[in-house]
Structure 1
Amino acid sequence: KRRRIRFIRSDSQVFLFVNSKCKRYFHNKLKPSKLTWTAMYRKQPKKDIAQEAAKKRRRATKKPYSRSIVGATLEVIQKKRSEKPEIRDAAREAALREIKERVKKAKEIRTKAPDANEDLLPVPKTETEKR
C-alpha cells in the first residue's frame, strides 16, 4: 500500500494527495489543467494516447446459443417459438376444456358411486396378510 496525504475539508470531503507537491498546489488553488505534468493537462489537448487506445477496444458480446433440452429437440423448440399466439391460445383452450370435462366426469362418478358402494364392506385380512 502506498502512503498518501489525507486532507479532510470542513464539509467532510476527503482528498488524498500522492505527495506534498500535489498537496501544496491544491491548497494554493492552482488548477491541475494548467500544470503540464498532470493527467488533466495531457487530456485537454488530447495528448493522452494510451487512454485513447483503451477507449477504442470493444468487449466481445456473447451470442445467444440455442440447443435441445431433455424433453424436446431443437426443431420442436424452434417450431413452438415461431408458432402464432392465436394457435397457442387455441391449444391452451382445448387442453383446459378437456381437463374440465375430466373433472366433471369424475364428479359425476363420485356422486353416483356411494349408492352402488354401500353394499360393499372392507374384506378382513387373513392371518398371512396381517404379517
Structure 2
Amino acid sequence: MEAKSRVVLFVCPHGAGKSRIAAAWFAGAAPEGWTATTAGLEPQQQVSVHAPRLLAGTAVEDLLDLALPRPLSAIPDAELVVAIDCRPGAIPGATEWRLQHEAFDEHMTAELKERAQRLARELAR
C-alpha cells in the first residue's frame, strides 16, 4: 500500500499567482512524501499571467500548476497551510508570509523561491 502524501497548501488572495509560484518552487525542493497545492481566498477565473512569465526558463517551470484557481474548501486535507499576503488571521492556524516584494517581478519570485525552499528544508528534518 502506497503512503499518502503530506500536503502543503499555499494560499494567496486569488490563488492565481503568488501561491502558484511558491508551490512550484516548493515542489522542486519538496522532501520525500510532501506535495504542494494552491488555493485562493477569492479565486480568480484563471491563473495569473505573471506566474508562467516569472517561472519561464527556471528549473521549476514545468512544475507550475495551471489548473483553474480553487477555493480553500476544495483542499480539505492539507497538513500545513501557508497564507501569502492574505489579510492577517484570514486562515486560522496558517503560517503567514508577508512578502517584502509585492510587485510581480523577479524580486518577488526570488523571495518566494527562498521561502519555499527553506520550508522544504525545514520539513525534511
Which of 1 and 2 has greater Rg? 1
Same topology, TM > 0.5: no
Q: Tell which has more relative contact order, 1 or 2 (C-alpha 8 A, sep 6+).
A: 2
The structure with more strand, counted as a fraction of residues:
2
Under a length normalisation based on structure 2, what TM-score does the superposition of the two structures give?
0.16
| TM-score normalized by the length of structure 1 | 0.16
Q: Which has the higher helix share?
A: 1
